[in-house]
Amino acid sequence: MANPVPGTLRHALTNWRVLAGGVLLLLLAIAAIFASALAPYDPLDQDLAAQLAAPDWHFGADAHALGTDSLGRDVLSRLIYGSRVALTVAFVAGFLTAIAGTAMGLAAGFFGGWLDAVISRAVDIWSSFPPVLLSIILVALLGTGLWSVVAAIVLIDWTRFCRVVRAETLKQRRLDYVDAAVVAGLRPLAILWREIVPNVLPLALVLLTLEMGLAVVIEAILSFVGLSISSDAPSWGGMIAEGREVVHQAPWVLIGAMLVLLATVLGFNVLGDGLKQELDPVLR
């Protein structure tokens, strides 16, 4: 069987959703990687003479293009550095969630029986809890900090992958090519790994893209309520919390952080929708 992936990729680049989402996220990744070169100020530098300074577009040596916060820290620099936290959580939590959920979904869908019954019941119970409340309770149990946030995201969202991958695995298992593999004498695990996994993977990739956007939001929510990284370190959720406090005097802190968060989430969502169209032969 010829590998269809390169052709699919080339075609995907003609899809405006994939392009728009991809470019947006690429810019964000550049901001995160080269934060120290791009940020005009140290994100932790306090300039108590310039507290809550309004955005200033004169691009002078001491101008704050997006203003400063209540400690005189440069908003633009903090937004740029904040992308590091957001993208770290997006990638680490996204991939871990995808791996955990996909593995459970494959196991439930492929082996069926009591294993499927146990996993499906767990998914049902688990996803009936409100996610925001659950994430706050989980972080309360795990302790605050970035890794607790990642763990909480994996524990909450694995069900999203599990549910979809299980359904897809059930569908694939009934197709003729799996019967053919059985007749050819492949062992069950070989069928799962060589035949079913490659066919489930595109779907998991789409879910992963959407999950990364969700992870960014959950991290922002937990920093907002003060349960993620320390409030000094630049994170978008922390900036939103701070901006909320000074919204009457300095709305730019809140607006800047909100817009960056919104753009990131929309970037992941648009990319995910585009990939769904490209990877699904029916939609394409």
Partner 1 sequence: MITRILSRLLQAIPTLAGVAVLVFVLVRVVPGDPVAMMIPPGADADVVARLYAQYGLDKPILTQFVIWAGQALHGDFGMSISLRQGVTGLIFSRLPATLELVAFAATLAVLLGGALAVFGTRYAGRAGEAVVDGLTGFILSVPDFLWGLAFIVGFGVLLPLFPISGRNDPSYSLGLASDFILTESFLRLRWGVTADILAHMTMPAVALALPLAAMIARVLKSSLAEQMAQDYALLSRVKGFSRWHVIVAEALRNAAIPTVSLTGVQVTFLVGGTVLIEKIFSYPGIGSLAIDAVVNRDLPLIQGLILTFAVLFILINLLLDFSYALLDPRLRHG
Burial class (CB in 10 A: 0-12, 13-18, 19+), 115: middle
| Contact flag: residue 7 with partner 1 (CB under 8 A) | no
Residue 15 zone, left/alpha/beta (φ > 0; ψ -120 to 50; rest): beta
Instruction: Write down the least CB distance from residue 214 to partner 1, Å.
Output: 8
| Residue (157 or 195) nearer to partner 1, CB | 157
What tokens were used for 271?
Answer: 């990319």
265 vs 227: CA distance, rounded Å:
21
C-alpha closest to that of 226 among 150, 151, 144 = 144
Instruction: Write down the least CB distance from residue 85 to partner 1, Å.
Output: 16
Secondary-structure breakdown of the chain: helix, strand, coil percentages, each rounded to the nearest 5: 75, 0, 25
| Per-residue x/- track, 217-246, partner 1 (CB under 8 A) | x--xx--xxxx------------x---x--
Contacts with partner 1 in 124-143 (CB under 8 A)? 128-134, 136-137, 139-143
| Residue (17 or 200) nearer to partner 1, CB | 17
| Residue (179 or 245) nearer to partner 1, CB | 245
Binding site for partner 1 (CB under 8 A): 128-134, 136-137, 139-143, 217, 220-221, 224-227, 240, 244, 247-248, 251, 254-255, 258, 261-262, 265-266, 269
